Structure 1
Amino acid sequence: MSLSDPDHDLVAAELGRDPTPAEVALFENLWSEHCAYRSSRPLLSAFDSEADQVVVGPGDDAAVVSVPTHADDGEETYVAMGIESHNHPSYVDPYDGAATGVGGIVRDILSMGAYPIALTDSLYFGGFDREHSRYLFEGVVEGIADYGNAIGVPTVGGSVEFHDGYEGNPLVNVACVGLVTEDRLVTAEAKTPGNKLVLVGNATGRDGLGGASFASEDLSEDAETEDRPAVQVGDPYTEKLLIEANEALIDEDLIRAARDLGAAGLGGASSELVAKGGLGAEIELDRVHQREPNMSALEILLAESQERMCYEVRPEDVDRVAEIADRYDLGCSVIGEVREGNYVCTFEGETVVDVPAEFLADGAPMNDLPMESSTGAERDRPDPDLEDAFDAVVASPNTASKAWVYRQYDHEVGTRTARRPGDDAAIMAIREAGTGLALSAGAIPSWTSAAPYDGARAVALENATNIAAKGATPHAAVDCLNGGNPENPDVYGGFGAIVGGLADMCRDLSVPVVGGNVSLYNDSVAGPIPPTPTLAMIGVRDGYDAPPMGVTGTGTLLEVGTAGGALGGSEYLAQVGGSDRFPDLPADAATAIDAVERIATLDSTLATHDVSHGGLAVTLAEMVTAETGISAAVDDVEALFDETPGRIVVETTDVEAVEAAAGDLPVRDLGAATTDARLTLSVGDERLERTAGTIAGLRDVIERELD
């Protein structure tokens, strides 16, 4: 990429001269789609980001929300939350691309003064039967596991989806949450002229050059070789030291503002830091501690070397910051200072950058692109053998067990994980507040491919249902909006639809969307990806206990909620063929979620599990354990495979209590939990039986194929 002629002319007019080569490179990266959101920002006003619990909303490195305190002597606790994509790098180099995605989102949490406590990863690949997809899948999971495990932050949730639309462009969306209190909160807004800018962390090398512009273009056929220099290389052991050093710096109140070095490297972090405060800076690039000799000004400015933070520090605190950096064996450079006026960088005694900081950081003109809407599918339902269809859906890599993935993650480090991966939502114990923090993350591309707007609404409702099924109240969310080339009207139309759908459902649920990330130009020679609205949502509850997913074998089984009466976007149709409209979603989603939460917290509730991908067929199969089973009946194939979210299956000892808690939601008797480790299922006049062992064998398809 290069700075377009219109952008070049705009910059030249603002500066009153032609920009220098370093300035051209800075504007090219900071005005790229990846940094400036030129095509997406006009749409993002659809999201509601304000609520009583929101402390820091969109625009910082991460968002911050307050969580309720249930402990008698608990102080007010804040949760920092953010989400990031590392899609293109993970195609070119799946291991380092995914690993540095983890490192980047963790540093976003650090820059708010927070200590990271949990990660989620939402991953999307081409068809599981394709060798290249498996290569990417294995490399990405290994990169996330090695980096997350080494830094001591547990990966507790997420999703894995396989779809032909990701064959040439996988998605790696990683979210992180951390804890901070009001007195430790830091933002990315420079405060005072005369304060110093201090770079702490790894030495700067040439890795990741042009990463922001690389992430803003379609992947070429030769991307795996040609674009490898744009992929950063991570060092998790240095990141762990940086986490602890950041905590020590916050302990001693040494940081006025902070920004991690991610997209566009030092140039991006330092210019955005001062621009947010309406200030400028003077930076001597020669002072940056470097890993490689003879680096140019442009390389020092734009390299995306990992494990680095830029801090605003009072002059009298600089020596103490350097002492703490040295204690943790981290590099430390005083590279300049905050000042009034322009953002200025010098190198070897010459001025190489002299531009208004706000113009550089926020001056990119927005795109006004045409949109085209997609049409709904016609109904064309097949009529396959019931047993074959059930086995195909339960054994699909999309609905099958993801234990092969999360077993590679240390999901208990830090001793806060109260509900482990594999359930509807993870729960972290926020003991300082006596509060359980529920986490759910992901999207289902078959839904948004079938119906971008309603599919995105369903994604938001599905994540909220996951949280409510564990007795938690949906509290806040961040999103990672992934799309193809926005210059194509049909692609941009689908992207606009997922933004609107996600925003509308979150508004209906009173869940503020407090931050996020946009990744466009996810195109390759294989075509554009499906519009993919990954949502990472948190919920809060009193205490850390929650009903399990597996049945105990002693209660009545009920389905609570309304099915949508269609199979569009379902795994059933993906496996057996055909088409259908997308199911209708609940008319009052907030009421449905409130009811699910009430039911999950009843003393008589023994187990809960949401109904979504794969429908009741997968829900019931997942609730069977090695010791317990289910005997259930449904009316027909639609009732078995309908994927409408906002529903749960409950095992209870008190049917009347569930009916009372459900309010106006329909409650249907499915049957009973048993102790015979078997699923016995009547579908109309047909009957199907599968032992727990058979179900486990079907659901272990990923592990079986990869090991």
Structure 2
Amino acid sequence: MTLDTVKHATETPDIDQPWAELGLKQDEYERVREILGRRPTGAELAMYSVMWSEHCSYKSSKVHLKQFGEKAPQSDALLVGIGENAGVVDVGQGYAVTFKVESHNHPSYVEPYQGAATGVGGIVRDIIAMGARPIAVVDPLRFGAADHPDTKRVLPGVVSGIGGYGNCLGLPNIGGETVFDACYQGNPLVNAGAIGVMRHEDIHLAKASGSGNKVILYGARTGGDGIGGASILASETFDEAKPSKRPAVQVGDPFQEKLLIECTLEAFAEKLVVGIQDLGAAGLSCATSELASNGSGGMRVELDDVPLRDSTLSPEEILMSESQERMCAVVEPSKVERFLAICEKWDVTATVIGEVTDGDRLEIFWHGEMIVDVDPRTVAHDGPVYERPYARPAWQDALQADDANKLARPADADELRAQVLRLVSSPNQASKSWITGQYDHFVQGNTVLAQPEDSGMIRIDEDTNLGVAIATDGNGRFTKLDPYTGAQLALAEAYRNVAATGAKPLAVSDCLNFGSPEDPAVMWQFAEAIRGLADGCLEMGTPVTGGNVSLYNQTGEAAIHPTPVVAVLGVIDDISRRTPIAFADEGHLIYLLGDTKEELGGSAWSQVVHDHLGGLPPAVDLGREKLLAEILISASRDGMVDAAHDLSDGGLIQALVESCLRGGKGARIVVPDGVDPFVLLFSESAGRAIVAVPRSEELRFNDMCGARGLPVTRIGVIDGTEIDIQGQFSIPLSELKVAHEETIPAILA
């Protein structure tokens, strides 16, 4: 077989090429030919196909994502924003923190363990590539109906993959969420986030600069796993009639990644690295084209020098392989020997595969012949940009008109009590300890708060007690009812969760999970959610530092609920002043902060009791959210509260149950005059929280809230061994504990 070189491609313009099988559209293939002035070689075609895929190029989402830049709030904390491997923010004392959330949805449906494990590995390498030491991971998850047989296949594998990989890396899992809904049945969402810490001067970027500098591939050897994953993974829906479209799933090795982390950080410490890029989606195609296009010159690569674990791989397969635990570094010639010595010390395979040139081309050779000769920008940055048609779906009005506030309510106190027990034992509101118990929360000894707290919190300086907090949230039900408001509610909830622990919210990363962009209704949901999130971040003062878009999450014509997952990172000056959710001290007073309205659209109550989705989601008031956050942060810092819990899914009663069970103390609750007990317990009005206030701090706390104009209502006291809604019902904590904790183990047994 003749090697498909650049010379051969120029001489044979009419050879048929498998562009469609690689995920390219005909006009995209023609555009590649136009850029090159000839047909692409097989290797070039492989590179363009993966780099121009939805997953890598954001070709359907770019036109909307630019709002995050256009509407970005001014932020003194932002050090590195959108466009790099991960965003970086200044958290004070010379420290910088990098964080990001990404998806590994489709691979986790095909092969749950490895799909989830390699999702963790990939996001951790993004953090390493910024120059940071990874310090924690989080995992926002969505599965199909809890009692569906396939959920029993997917969920345990995903949880084992996340736990197995993260635990082996020695990274605490400090946050996330698990949601069940039939809409995710064929398309689970496995989003993974990571946080890393470094000094300001240690930030590294993905660029290849300096003619003559060497390009070093190091880490695991390149194999045949994950070939074509990026292009097909993000360009096809799952259809049982087309099993061939299911991509091979990458295989992870957390022990290799741990060596890679230590090796990379030692090289950073010795100032050996000019530029660096992890190998994730699109593998070497991505690393070489992005490093070259972001730098000041070109790049020459000898593909024969890539260490292989499968000698039969073709050059196209080597370029497309998504084998895990690999990175590319650009190193000055005088420092190569030392870089390789560090790799050898850590038993990490490392090979010089090329060098930076003074030209503007990416040239790749195989067996002495040139098989790639491209402008790297055309591969990495100048892919197609689609302005997909979008339109408000015809069914949206009817959905919103189906008002959840009109659903039948409990007829008496006994029925109200029964519905409370149904709610707290439902899969979404029940304890997730069966899942989170498989993760190590406290490895490294710096974890301050972890699940089921409102946000995870980790100490980053043992001398000063400086720490950071992170929360991830998203409500697909709210977003389906109103995508603009739903996205803002996700932002507000994550912001509120961070503030409830006493940390000041600083910045956002997002993972935007939607159906097919070729469906105008889905594209409308996406456009509205982006608009809502961009407007919300501008008002809240929290810039979007980066994130991920995952499209084609649908089976046939059935798309998932639009699910923007928002991660908010916050900073706390002294972690010893953090606020947990647990009601731990009898006699302390329970205050409800914010306004409770009759807002049941998309609520947990409407789902659990009536299997209903309709109406409007709760109204969002971002000014009120900021005020609430300021109160929570001040109260935590000044010792005015010793417990706080945001109100979100399940409303007040869910928060009370979680805080009481967490602290092992009961609560007596008085329903305020003129308030419907049902609305008080089940409404999901936003901008609310409950706090436990020592009696000695009551006057000071009320004065602060009054001075700032935040409505507060004293609703009860921590007392006894039951939750007593006075005049209505009481439920012993022992009964609530069984209802809350036995659901998930029973379903998955």
The answer to whether TM tops 0.5 is yes
Find the aligned partners of 2:233 and 2:243 in 1 and give their Cα distance: 15
Q: Which amino acid aligns with 1:499?
A: I
- Aligned partner of 1:361 in structure 2 is 380
Instruction: State the match for 2:712 in structure 1.
Output: 667
Choose which of 610, 619, 641 in structure 2 pairs with 1:605.
Answer: 641
Match of 2:331 in 1: 313
CA drift of 1:357 comes to 0.5
Residues 590 and 691 in structure 2, CA contact (< 8 A), matched pair in contact too: yes
Task: Report the 3-state secondary structure (helix = DSSP H, G, I; strand = E; otherwise coil) of the residue aligned with 1:605.
Answer: coil
User: Could you list the per-position Cα deviations for residues 356-392 of structure 1 after superposition, in whole angstroms to 9, with x for gaps in the alignment?
Assistant: 0011111112101121223323323222331222112
Contact 1:111–1:187 (CA under 8 A) maintained in structure 2: yes
2:375 and 2:469 map into 1 onto residues whose CA distance is 43
Instruction: Mark the runs of 5 or more structure 1 residues left unpaired by the alignment.
Output: 70-75
Specify which of 595, 606, 617 is matched with residue 582 of structure 1.
617
Aligned to 2:17: none
Deviates more, 1:284-293 or 1:441-450: 441-450
Contact 2:117 2:161 survives alignment (8 Å): yes
Instruction: Give the 3 Å change call, closer, same or farther, for CA 258–377 of structure 1 in structure 2.
Output: farther
Contact persistence 2:107–2:247 (CA under 8 A): no
Residue 294 to residue 222, structure 1, CA distance change in 2 (3 Å): same
Aligned-pair CA distance for 1:348: 1.0
Deviation at 1:597, TM superposition (A): 1.9
Q: Which residue of 1 aligns with 2:408?
A: 382
How far apart are the structure 1 equivalents of 2:733 and 2:181? Answer: 28
1:451 aligns with 2:462: no
Aligned partners of 1:262 and 1:306 also within 8 Å: yes
DSSP-derived class of the 1:338 partner: strand
**Superposition map of 1:129-148 within 5 A:** 129-148=147-166
TM-score where L is the length of structure 2: 0.91
- 1:587: how far off? 5.6
Q: CA deviation at 1:219?
A: 3.1
1:650 aligned residue (688, 691, 700)? 691
Question: Residues 233 and 472 from structure 1, CA distance in 2 versus in 1: closer, same or farther, beyond 3 angstroms?
Answer: same
What is the rounded CA distance, in whole Å, between the counterparts of 2:639 and 2:632 in structure 1? 14
Partner deviation per Cα, 1:667-690 (whole Å, 9 max, x = no partner): 11211110x2210114xxx61211
Confirm whether residue 705 of structure 1 aligns to residue 742 of structure 2: no
Tell me, what secondary structure is at the counterpart of 1:608? strand
Please give the residue correspondences for 1:562-573 in structure 2 after superposition, counting only pairs within 5 Å.
562-573=595-606
Distance 1:587 1:604, change over 3 A: closer
1:326 aligns with 2:344: yes
How far apart in 2 are the matches of 1:661 and 1:273? Answer: 52
Deviation readout 1:540-562 (Å, 9 max, x if unpaired): 11211222211122211110012
Please state whether the residue corresponding to 1:612 is helix, strand or coil. Answer: coil
Q: Which amino acid aligns with 1:656?
A: L
Compute the displacement of 1:229 (Å): 5.2
In the TM superposition, residue 155 of structure 1 has moved relative to its aligned partner by: 0.8
* Correspondent of 1:104 among 122, 126, 129: 122
| Contact map agreement 1:93 1:224 (CA 8 A) in 2 | no
User: Which of 497, 504, 520 is the matching residue for 2:535?
Assistant: 504
Q: Return the offset for 1:407.
A: 1.1
Matched, 1:51 2:83: no
1:488-537 CA-partner distances (Å, limit 9, x unpaired): 01111111121122222222211111111111111113711111111111
| 1:197 and 2:203 matched | no
User: Structure 2, unaligned stretches of length 5 or more?
Assistant: 1-21
Q: C-alpha distance in 2, partners of 1:698/1:613?
A: 17
Cα deviations across residues 365-423 of structure 1 (Å, max 9, x unaligned)?
21011212233233232223312221121112112111111111111111110112211
In the alignment, the residues of structure 1 paired with residue 454 and residue 242 of structure 2 have an alpha-carbon distance, to the nearest angstrom, of 36
Counterpart code for 2:418: D
Match of 1:633 in 2: 670
Which piece of structure 1 moves more, 257-266 or 435-444?
A: 435-444
Aligned identity (percent) is: 38
Measure how far apart 1:445 and its partner are: 1.7
Question: For 2:61 and 2:586, how far apart are their aligned partners in 1?
Answer: 50
For residues 29-48 of structure 1, what are the structure 2 equivalents within 5 Å? 29-47=50-68, 48=72
**Aligned residues of 2:146 and 2:747 also touching (Cα < 8 A):** no
- Establish whether residue 391 from structure 1 lines up as the match of residue 410 from structure 2: no
Q: Kindly indicate whether residue 576 of structure 2 is the aligned counterpart of residue 540 of structure 1.
A: no
Question: What is the deviation of 1:595?
Answer: 2.0
Any conservation in 2 of the 1:681–1:688 contact (CA below 8 Å)?
yes
Q: Is the 8 A contact 1:476 1:512 kept in 2?
A: yes
Provide the secondary structure at the position in 1 that maps to 2:507: strand
Q: Decide which moves more: 382-391 or 455-464.
A: 382-391
Question: Which range moved further: 44-53 or 470-479?
Answer: 44-53
Change (3 A) 1:677 1:364: same
- 2: CA distance between counterparts of 1:342 and 1:463? 44
The CA distance in 2 between the partners of 1:224 and 1:147, in whole Å, is: 31
- Pick from 163, 170, 191: which aligns with 1:152? 170
- What SS does the aligned partner of 1:239 have? helix
| Higher mean C-alpha displacement, 658-667 vs 507-516 | 658-667
Aligned to 1:481, the other structure's residue is in SS state: strand
**Structure 1 residue 314: deviation in Å?**
0.5
2:721 and 2:378 map into 1 onto residues whose CA distance is 65
Quote the residue 1:73 is aligned against. Answer: none
| Shift of residue 225, structure 1, vs aligned partner | 5.8
1:72 is matched with none
1:352 aligns with 2:352: no
Deviation at 1:46, TM superposition (A): 1.9
Residue identity matched to 1:555 = H
Distance in 1 between residues matched to 2:108 and 2:473, nearest whole Å:
18
Deviations 1:56-92 (A, max 9, x none): 11111111111023xxxxxx00001111110010000
Amino acid in the other structure paired with 1:355: V
8 Å contact from structure 2 (residues 210, 296) kept in 1: no
Which one of 274, 280, 289 corresponds to residue 307 of structure 2? 289
Structure 1 residue 211, shift from structure 2 partner: 1.0
> Secondary structure in 2 aligned to 1:7?
helix
1:680 equivalenced with 2:702 (yes/no): no
Q: What secondary structure does 1:507 align onto?
A: helix
1:615-626 alignment, distance < 5 Å: 615-625=651-661
The aligned runs of 1:463-474 (5 Å cut-off) are 463-474=494-505
Structure 1 position 517 matched with structure 2 position 552? no
Determine if contact 2:232/2:247 at 8 Å carries over to the other structure: no
Relative to structure 1, the CA distance from residue 135 to residue 210 in structure 2 (aligned partners, 3 Å threshold; closer, same or farther) is same
TM-superposed deviation, 1:222: 3.7
Q: Is the contact between residue 322 and residue 332 of structure 1 (CA under 8 Å) also seen in structure 2?
A: yes
Q: Distance in 2 between matches of 1:602 and 1:252?
A: 42
Q: Distance in 2 between matches of 1:252 and 1:542?
A: 30
Match of 2:89 among 65, 74, 94: 65
The alignment's C-alpha RMSD in Å is 1.6
Partner residue of 1:341?
360
Cα displacement string for residues 460-512 of structure 1 (whole angstroms, at most 9, x for unaligned residues) = 01011111111111011111111110110111111112112222222221111
Matches of residues 412-491 of structure 1 in structure 2 within 5 Å?
412-431=442-461, 434-491=465-522
514-523 or 660-669, which deviates more: 660-669
**For structure 1, which segment, 199-208 or 635-644, has the greater mean C-alpha deviation from structure 2 after superposition?**
635-644
Q: Which amino acid aligns with 1:107?
A: R
State whether residues 631 and 680 of structure 1, in contact with CA within 8 Å, keep that contact through their aligned partners in structure 2. Answer: yes
Name the CA distance, whole Å, in 1 between partners of 2:502 and 2:55. 37
In the alignment, structure 1 residue 218 sits paired with structure 2 residue 236: yes
Give the Cα–Cα distance (whole angstroms) in 2 for the partners of residues 571 and 218 of structure 1.
Answer: 32
For 2:276, what is the secondary structure of its paired residue?
A: strand
1:118 aligns with 2:136: yes
Deviation at 1:224, TM superposition (A): 10
